[in-house]
Amino acid sequence: MEPVSSNRCFGGEQNVYTHASEVCGTDMTFAVFLPEEAKKKSVPVLWYLSGLTCTHENAMTKGGFQQAAAEHGIALVFPDTSPRGEGVADDDAYDLGMGAGFYVNATQDPWKPHFRMYDYIVQELRGIVQGIVPSNGLHGITGHSMGGHGALTIAMKNPDLFTSLSAFAPIVNPSQSDWGRKQFSAYLGDDESTWADYDATILLKERGWKGDILIDQGASDQFLDLLKPESFAEAVAARRQPAVIRMQEGYDHSYFFVSTFAADHVAWHAERLQSTGN
């Protein structure tokens, strides 16, 4: 692992690293914010998974999470959204290939050698983060759009690894959306029974979540028909899942929307990630 940059930020440090990923078979870049408290004691960790076309840098520079994280003494992790580099498969479309990993483990060529973002987040990067952050063992996860899909599905499949869960404008029913069917067909193949394992609405119906869920969705989001929030809301009601789904009047799908409610989400996670460290 190699340090790329380090900047003082709200009393803490915003660091960027690169490393050779065994899971993805290429170099990967990620960012970690450490609050000042991390110098003296263990702290909880909040993961933020970004959306289509993003890298680790988008939320790090435009999300507005660090100030709230510093106030609550929470570390932040900003992974990339896909493998990148020479020899990594790609597509001319913005929503397939590099920048569009969808947080799945691809099983189809030419994607399967590198596009293993699910294992990368859940296994490899988590292990690396544990060596960088003096964590108290409590992790929360959130994300935006494709990253919201990733946060919801990863948490519901790994309730032992994550304590708190939220999302910003998540793609919640990808098996029934053009933001999902195209990518799942490419990465996972045409057998739609294999897609259910990466569909938040289906997972909620089948597994639920051990705690409550916070979702913010812009009511003026230009991609509402692709995100399908109503599908997830129906599943929440049917399962009687504790959840708060807020339709925010006038807000779209941009980082202006994310940054507006970033502090709310950090505070919400902080309440559920009380530090047990010394």
Asked about 6 being catalytic, the answer comes back as: no
Q: Which of 254, 162, 275, 174 is nearest to 213 (CA)?
A: 162
User: Which stretches does DSSP call E strand in the chain?
Assistant: 2-9, 12-21, 26-34, 43-49, 75-79, 135-143, 164-168, 213-218, 243-248
CB contact at 8 A, 19 and 27: yes
Asked about 221 being catalytic, the answer comes back as: yes
Name the catalytic one among 145, 164, 231, 275.
Answer: 145
Cis peptide before 110 (omega within 30 of 0): yes
Name the catalytic one among 56, 114, 149, 253.
Answer: 253
Name the catalytic one among 221, 265, 269, 275.
Answer: 221
Burial (CB < 10 A; 0-12, 13-18, 19+), residue 93, is exposed
**Residue keyed to tokens 């692709």:** 226
Asked about 160 being catalytic, the answer comes back as: no
**CA 264 distance to own-chain centroid:** 17
Where is 72: in which H helix or E strand? Answer: helix 66-72
**Residue keyed to tokens 């009047």:** 249
Q: Which residues are catalytic?
A: 145, 221, 253
